[in-house]
Structure 1
Amino acid sequence: MQSVELLLDADADEAVREEWRELDEAGLPSLARHTGASNRPHITLLVAPEGAETRIASLRDAAALLPVPVTLGGLLLFPSRHGAVLARAVVVTAALLTVHRAVHDAVGRAVTALPVSVPDAWTPHVTLARRLTPAQVAVALEVLEAPVLAATATESRLWDSATRLVHPLGPGQPSR
């Protein structure tokens, strides 16, 4: 699987990582437990089974639209077969939708594997935790304050889960 992701500015990145830590310290599932170098707070723009890497030049053109201001809003829950996914909502703006659509135009709509990531069906978010039980969701809601957070999407990257490689797309500094 491949995904195109927006990365946040340093302050917002650290604020989300702090929320990951708060969940972990409360004994809850959290992305803080994923210690790989590629694990960064991000907004997923597209998920594809394969083929996105062949369109890196077009994806870099879409990345030229960055930076884009974003706002992290309240908490969201997504159902899944393996428990709830807890995330921070990302407020939809015209600028964010323009970047999202440009990424999908760059790879072609037929490439998309995740229907909820396509234009007009997308819920932008930053994931905090996965596989939460209903009881853990209740605790997470008590633990996290989740204040509104002004941020900037500064760069984008292509993540390839099969090769475990990150391909920086721009325009910011290379991804960690």
Structure 2
Amino acid sequence: MAQALEFRFDHEADAAVRALWHRLERAGVPSLDTRTHRRHRPHVCFAAAGSIPRGTREDLREDLRLLSIPTLWLSTLSATATAETALVLAAVVDTELLAVHSAVHDVLAKRVRSPSAYYLPGSWVPHCVLATGVEPAEVIAGFAALYPVEPVRARVSEVAVVDTHTGESEMLLDLTG
């Protein structure tokens, strides 16, 4: 089982990302998660590991309540250069965003099994996935369908730990109320 810490978006940003997914689909670029073949909720992943234990989740919940979660500006359309090519909308990185990311990893340090190096401080590129497992021709079609992309102002509405295989999630923080 792999687990991820997702910062999910408010209604307006969620709808904006889903509209981008729809534009990709119309251009023939699949926007489903290639591992689960399901849609996930638009989000930025702050951490991923083989498992995030229950006690660590409680500590995360407590620390997140004390933090001021910044608004994310998703504005850079790009493609990843990892083993599984993805089209993403990258976030503008500022000190507030890095501070929250650092606080999250302070809680997770030495308490999770098999942390993903992609999400560790110094390696993390905050982004919202638009399509994964895309072929070179789909990358080109995806850019053509989305460029120029309007920046998405994403307020975080909730933070959840998600099982990346099943899609099951546990909400740690609800910021809607």
The bucket for the TM-score relative to the shorter chain is 0.7 to 0.9
Segment of structure 1 superposing worse, 149-158 or 110-119? 110-119
- List, as ranges, runs of 4+ consecutive aligned residues in structure 1 with deviation greater than 6 Å: none
Residue number in structure 2 paired with 1:80: 82
**Does the Cα contact within 8 Å between 1:17 and 1:32 map onto a contact in 2?**
no
**Does the Cα contact within 8 Å between 2:5 and 2:161 map onto a contact in 1?**
yes
Q: Following the alignment from structure 1 to structure 2, what is the Cα–Cα distance between the partners of residues 42 and 72?
A: 11
Q: Following the alignment from structure 1 to structure 2, what is the Cα–Cα distance between the partners of residues 52 and 100?
A: 18
Q: Following the alignment from structure 1 to structure 2, what is the Cα–Cα distance between the partners of residues 91 and 52?
A: 30
Superposition pairs of residues 16-165 of structure 1, within 5 angstroms: 16-31=17-32, 34-35=37-38, 39-64=40-65, 65-82=67-84, 84-109=85-110, 111=112, 113-144=115-146, 145-161=148-164, 164-165=167-168
Q: Following the alignment from structure 2 to structure 1, what is the Cα–Cα distance between the partners of residues 168 and 176?
A: 16
Task: Tell me the SS of whatever aligns to 1:31.
Answer: coil
Q: Following the alignment from structure 2 to structure 1, what is the Cα–Cα distance between the partners of residues 121 and 33?
A: 30
**Does the Cα contact within 8 Å between 2:75 and 2:152 map onto a contact in 1?**
yes
Q: Following the alignment from structure 1 to structure 2, what is the Cα–Cα distance between the partners of residues 162 and 131?
A: 16
How many aligned residue pairs are there?
A: 171
**Does the Cα contact within 8 Å between 1:73 and 1:146 map onto a contact in 2?**
yes
Segment of structure 1 superposing worse, 7-16 or 140-149? 140-149
Q: Which amino acid aligns with 1:75?
A: L
Q: Following the alignment from structure 1 to structure 2, what is the Cα–Cα distance between the partners of residues 47 and 151?
A: 21
Of the three residues 158, 172, 175, the one matched with 2:175 is 172
Displacement of 1:91 in angstroms is 0.7
Give identity over the alignment, percent: 31
RMSD: 2.2
Q: 1:49 to 1:109 in 2, by over 3 A?
A: same
Displacement of 1:48 in angstroms is 0.7
Segment of structure 1 superposing worse, 24-33 or 7-16? 24-33
Q: If the length of structure 1 is used for normalisation, what is the TM-score?
A: 0.87
Q: If the length of structure 2 is used for normalisation, what is the TM-score?
A: 0.86
Q: Mind listing any 5+ residue stretches in structure 2 that lack a counterpart?
A: none
Q: Mind listing any 5+ residue stretches in structure 1 that lack a counterpart?
A: none
**Does the Cα contact within 8 Å between 2:10 and 2:157 map onto a contact in 1?**
yes
Q: Which amino acid aligns with 2:93?
A: V
Task: Tell me the SS of whatever aligns to 1:100.
Answer: helix
Displacement of 1:32 in angstroms is 8.0
